[in-house]
């Protein structure tokens, strides 16, 4: 196939690589794009033809193409084929040059009133005067002290109810807590079921522990129970991972009945649940967590990264019983050892003095303002939650997600394409906008007008401009 000379290089790479064949194919594809053997808009040969030439089976090539879409290298359109996407020759979808505002990171906005800088300066000074420096700068107890666990239990009580201290852990961030829970409940090769469009952190964990992710379709209330039951019957997963409240990225929130239906499916199939709950406390009256409805089946994680600040590196974990607490604590010790002493002291002080709630109320108010600005600028039709930190932007028919984000980046706007969140199937025509990372409401509004301009820009049918 002389017109596809790069395939010979792919075949040679497969013969020399010790890695899984589908990953070698993706890496070879990326190299062909970087070298200029493949250019933006080039159409790739059919997957079956590639499989025959490389001596691979069709499933391997399909898996490679799926990974290529996830990395933002290619786009596939039914009836047209697979093309090298616009911007694929650049290192990553994230904007690396100057941006109007980076709208990729889901951060709580830093409140101006009260001044977070002044609070931190005052409280750190008080901590250094009152506590022993050697203790603050030394290793901590994995899982937190008794007092820290009690404060954590009180913080998450509005969502999960009262819990015993021996069922609570303090972890250095939600990601390490989730990794610990997943590793406790699974072995390599096991299946984790999650939303088909899901927080990408679960993909990172699954890859680290050699686990298989299977996606479940969702509607406006999140994961559909009948689809979950079908997947459970077919794949026999060991664990369900979900974000029931203000889902990332879709913003869906399960109703009380939907939560009970999901729990009923999990009970029938003996499925443990890892409940990730970053956003409930951004709501004045959050719905009960799954962990409140089924104490024995759910391991619950609530990070302070989305309600106070990621700089605190603190998450609270509620486990079904004391034995599970000991097992997850051992896993946290293996993964991340312990929390940082100075940050733990600052967090505890905020909890004790009520400063944490003051900051939380300010962040709630700022996010609601930003959501109202987003609705005013972008209009209806997008997935939004008035208390949430992000928007799941719906794209017009002429924009694919990866191309839209690549074009927005060239206009100085950094967004996240749906390919990053897609566990299986075709990525939806969506992109996520994080509202909290803009320094203030005025700069956010300016940036959203830029997003609107990109939305309304109608691409020509071809990938390249005609001059």
Q: Is the residue at 339 inside a domain?
A: yes
Per-residue pLDDT of the chain in tens (467 residues, 90 and over written 9): 566 889 999 999 999 888 889 999 998 998 898 888 898 778 899 999 999 999 999 999 999 998 888 888 888 766 678 888 866 665 444 444 444 568 999 999 999 888 999 999 999 999 999 999 999 999 999 999 999 999 999 999 999 999 999 999 999 999 999 999 999 999 999 999 999 999 999 999 999 999 999 999 999 999 999 999 999 999 999 999 999 999 999 999 999 999 999 999 999 999 999 999 999 999 999 999 999 999 999 999 999 999 999 999 999 999 999 999 999 999 999 999 999 999 999 999 999 999 999 999 999 999 999 999 999 999 999 999 999 999 999 999 989 898 899 889 888 899 999 999 999 888 999 999 999 989 899 999 999 999 999 999 876 544 444 33
**What's the CATH code of the domain at 42?**
1.10.10.10
Q: Is the residue at 89 inside a domain?
A: no
**What's the CATH code of the domain at 146?**
3.40.640.10
208 and 344 both lie in a single domain:
yes
User: What does residue 194 show for φ and ψ, rounded to 5 degrees?
Assistant: -150, 180
- H helix and E strand count, the chain: 17, 17
Q: Is the residue at 225 inside a domain?
A: yes
- Six-digit token pair at 376? 């005013």
What pTM was estimated for this model as a whole?
A: 0.81
**Strand 74-77 relative to strand 81-84, pairing:** antiparallel
Q: Which domain holds residue 35?
A: 2-84
Give the 3-state secondary structure of residue 281: helix
252 and 292 both lie in a single domain:
yes
Give the 3-state secondary structure of residue 241: strand
Distance separating alpha carbons of residues 417 and 410, to the nearest angstrom: 14
Q: Is the residue at 125 inside a domain?
A: no
143 and 257 both lie in a single domain:
yes
Q: What is the structure's pLDDT at 467?
A: 34
146 and 214 both lie in a single domain:
yes
143 and 214 both lie in a single domain:
yes
361 and 347 both lie in a single domain:
no
346 and 411 both lie in a single domain:
no
How many domains does one find in the chain? 3
Q: What is the structure's pLDDT at 90?
A: 53
* Whether 173 contacts 311, CB under 8 Å: no
Distance separating alpha carbons of residues 259 and 223, to the nearest angstrom: 9
Instruction: Using the 3D structure, point to which of 353, 387, 421 is the last residue of a domain.
Output: 353
Q: Is the dihedral of CA 126, 130, 131, 137 positive or negative?
A: positive
Q: What is the structure's pLDDT at 282?
A: 98
Q: Is the residue at 363 inside a domain?
A: yes
Query: Could you identify the residue written with the tokens 């486990």?
Result: 319
Among candidate residues 81, 24, 20, the one with its CA nearest the CA of residue 49: 81
156 and 267 both lie in a single domain:
yes
204 and 63 both lie in a single domain:
no
Which three-class secondary structure string do you get for 403-441? HHHHHHHHCCEECEEHHHCECCCCCCCEEEEECCCCCCH
Q: Is the residue at 148 inside a domain?
A: yes
250 and 328 both lie in a single domain:
yes
**What's the CATH code of the domain at 365?**
3.90.1150.10
Q: What is the structure's pLDDT at 154?
A: 98
179 and 293 both lie in a single domain:
yes
Among candidate residues 191, 193, 185, the one with its CA nearest the CA of residue 229: 193
Q: What is the structure's pLDDT at 28?
A: 92
Q: What is the structure's pLDDT at 423?
A: 93
CB atoms within 10 A of CB 280: 24
Q: Is the residue at 229 inside a domain?
A: yes
Instruction: Using the 3D structure, point to which of 325, 353, 381 is the last residue of a domain.
Output: 353
Q: What is the structure's pLDDT at 79?
A: 67
210 and 166 both lie in a single domain:
yes
Chain CA centroid to CA 149, Å: 26
Q: Is the residue at 126 inside a domain?
A: no
């Amino acid at each position: 196939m002389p017109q596809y000379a790069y395939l010979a290089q792919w075949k040679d790479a497969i013969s020399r690589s010790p890695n899984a064949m589908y990953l070698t194919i993706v890496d070879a594809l990326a190299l062909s794009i970087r070298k200029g053997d493949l250019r933006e808009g080039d159409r790739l040969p059919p997957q079956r033809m590639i499989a025959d030439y490389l001596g691979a089976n069709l499933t391997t090539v399909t898996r490679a193409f799926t990974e290529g879409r996830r990395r933002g290298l290619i786009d596939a359109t039914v009836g047209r084929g697979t093309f090298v996407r616009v911007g694929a020759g650049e290192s990553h979808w994230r904007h690396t040059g100057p941006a109007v505002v980076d709208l990729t990171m889901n951060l709580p906005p830093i409140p101006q009133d009260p001044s977070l800088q002044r609070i931190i300066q005052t409280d750190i000074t008080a901590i250094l005067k009152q506590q022993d420096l050697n203790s603050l700068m030394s290793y901590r107890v994995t899982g937190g002290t008794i007092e820290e666990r009690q404060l954590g239990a009180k913080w998450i009580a509005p969502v999960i109810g009262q819990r015993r201290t021996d069922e609570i852990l303090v972890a250095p961030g939600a990601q390490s807590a989730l990794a610990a829970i997943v590793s406790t409940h699974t072995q390599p090769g096991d299946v984790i079921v999650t939303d088909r469009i899901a927080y990408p952190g679960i993909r990172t964990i699954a890859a680290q522990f050699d686990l298989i992710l299977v996606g479940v379709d969702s509607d406006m209330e999140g994961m559909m129970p009948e689809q979950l039951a079908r997947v459970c019957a077919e794949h026999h997963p060991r664990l369900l991972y979900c974000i029931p409240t203000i889902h990332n990225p879709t913003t869906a929130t399960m109703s009380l009945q939907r939560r009970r239906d999901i729990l009923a499916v999990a009970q029938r199939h003996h499925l443990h649940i890892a409940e990730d709950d970053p956003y409930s406390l951004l709501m004045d009256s959050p719905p009960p967590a799954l962990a409140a409805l089924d104490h024995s089946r759910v391991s619950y994680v609530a990070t302070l990264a989305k309600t106070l600040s990621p700089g605190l590196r603190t998450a609270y974990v509620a486990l079904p019983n004391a034995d599970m607490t000991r097992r997850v604590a051992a896993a946290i010790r293996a993964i991340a050892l312990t929390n940082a002493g100075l940050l733990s002291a600052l967090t505890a002080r905020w909890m004790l003095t009520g400063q944490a709630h003051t900051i939380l109320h300010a962040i709630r108010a700022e996010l609601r303002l930003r959501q109202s600005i987003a609705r005013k600028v972008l209009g209806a039709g997008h997935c939004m939650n008035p208390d949430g930190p992000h928007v799941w932007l719906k794209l017009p028919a002429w924009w694919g997600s990866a191309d839209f984000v690549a074009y927005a980046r060239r206009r100085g706007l950094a967004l996240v394409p749906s390919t990053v969140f897609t566990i299986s199937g075709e990525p939806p025509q969506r992109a996520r906008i994080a509202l909290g990372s803009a320094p203030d409401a005025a700069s956010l509004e300016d940036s959203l007008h830029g997003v609107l301009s990109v939305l309304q820009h109608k691409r020509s049918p071809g990938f390249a401009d005609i001059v």
